[in-house]
């Protein structure tokens, strides 16, 4: 029996404006009132829009954030589980990424901050985040480095192959936006798959009792490990191929449709 639904954020719960629709808010709140667990798994940091959305949805259970490198208690803001990038890797990786300065922006995250070159503010890296100079980041507590999703896919695919060869202790996930492709970079011990397993343990749930829903390539590790897999209508074919259910797009309130389906499945069980 499904007891929990864990949802991707961008393109699943919200669009590029980061606004939740009334239908989704009502459906998720009603879902939780019936005793189901609802949570979020996102590449974004908790601070800012994710925190605001969790509050609007009435979510009080732990959230998977920063590409599966941290699990946060939204009530206390405490980090319940974390996997940080190896400090030696961070020390070598940042200068390497600087060599691509004419091709893309990137940021490293730690604590409440997004660290960028000279502390420039790039909204894509954290709506609601505080920005600081990348030169000041603590190399031993970096959960995530993100390359802005604004590049052509072939260039990003080539860079992922290059990074995988040069830095074997990394987990690399291709991300998308309306402007192009980018990369979420985490420790090889992080990622949505490992974070999901840690989250299930924290919640005393079996993976078979968890449904997952997402819309992107980086949601594949989440869905493939869930007992019930839901792909959004705007998801790529690779995600739809493994799904038990394909719902409407984000613009058509696909999450609300998924919630209703899970409620009906449970009643039949």
Note the CATH architecture for domain 4-82+191-268. 3-Layer(aba) Sandwich (3.40)
CA dihedral for 19, 148, 255, 249, sign (positive or negative):
positive
pLDDT tens string 83-106: 999 999 999 999 999 999 889 989
Backbone angles phi, psi at 101, to 5 degrees: -55, -30
Is there a shared CATH topology between the 4-82+191-268 domain and the 87-187 domain?
A: no
Q: Which pLDDT score is estimated for 118?
A: 85
pLDDT tens string 141-169: 999 999 999 999 999 999 999 999 999 99
Cα dist from 74 to 38, 50, 53, 178, 235, whole Å: 13, 10, 11, 29, 28
pLDDT at 245 over 70: yes
Q: Which pLDDT score is estimated for 57?
A: 98
Residue spans of the domains in the chain: they are 4-82+191-268, 87-187
pLDDT at 110 over 70: yes
CATH code, residues 87-187: 3.30.1240.10
CA angle 105, 110, 114 (to 5 degrees): 35
Cα dist from 46 to 34, 72, 233, 264, whole Å: 26, 7, 26, 31
Q: Which pLDDT band, with edges at 50, 70 and 90, does 127 fall under?
A: low
Cα dist from 87 to 41, 102, 162, whole Å: 25, 25, 20
Cα dist from 3 to 50, 127, 184, 194, 209, whole Å: 23, 31, 29, 19, 5
Cα dist from 40 to 4, 27, 126, 206, whole Å: 11, 15, 16, 17
Rounded to two decimals, the pTM is 0.93
Q: Which pLDDT score is estimated for 98?
A: 94
Q: Which pLDDT score is estimated for 268?
A: 61
pLDDT at 192 over 70: yes
């Amino acid at each position: 029996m499904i007891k929990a639904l864990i949802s991707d954020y961008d393109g699943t719960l919200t669009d590029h404006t980061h606004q939740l629709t009334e239908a989704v808010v009502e459906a998720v709140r009603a879902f939780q009132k019936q005793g189901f667990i609802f949570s979020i798994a996102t590449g974004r940091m908790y601070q800012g829009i994710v925190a605001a959305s969790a509050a609007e949805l009435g979510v009080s259970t732990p959230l998977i954030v920063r590409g599966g490198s941290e699990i946060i208690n939204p009530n206390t803001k405490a980090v319940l589980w974390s996997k940080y990038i190896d400090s030696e890797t961070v020390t070598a990786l940042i200068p390497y990424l600087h060599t691509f300065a004419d091709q893309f922006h990137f940021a490293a995250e730690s604590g409440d901050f997004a660290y960028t070159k000279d502390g420039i503010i790039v909204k894509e890296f954290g709506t609601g985040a505080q920005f600081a100079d990348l030169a000041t980041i603590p190399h031993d507590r970096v959960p995530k480095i993100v390359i802005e999703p604004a590049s052509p896919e072939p260039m990003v695919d080539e860079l992922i192959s290059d990074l995988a060869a040069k830095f074997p202790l990394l987990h690399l996930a291709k991300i998308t936006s309306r402007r192009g492709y980018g990369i979420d970079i985490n420790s090889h011990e992080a990622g949505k798959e490992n974070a999901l397993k840690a989250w299930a343990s924290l919640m005393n749930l079996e993976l078979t009792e968890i449904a997952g829903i997402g819309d992107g390539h980086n949601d594949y590790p989440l869905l493939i490990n869930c007992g019930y897999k839901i792909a959004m209508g705007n998801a790529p074919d690779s995600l739809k191929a493994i799904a038990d259910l394909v719902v409407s797009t984000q613009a058509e309130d696909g999450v609300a449709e998924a919630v209703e389906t899970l409620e009906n499945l449970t009643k039949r069980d």
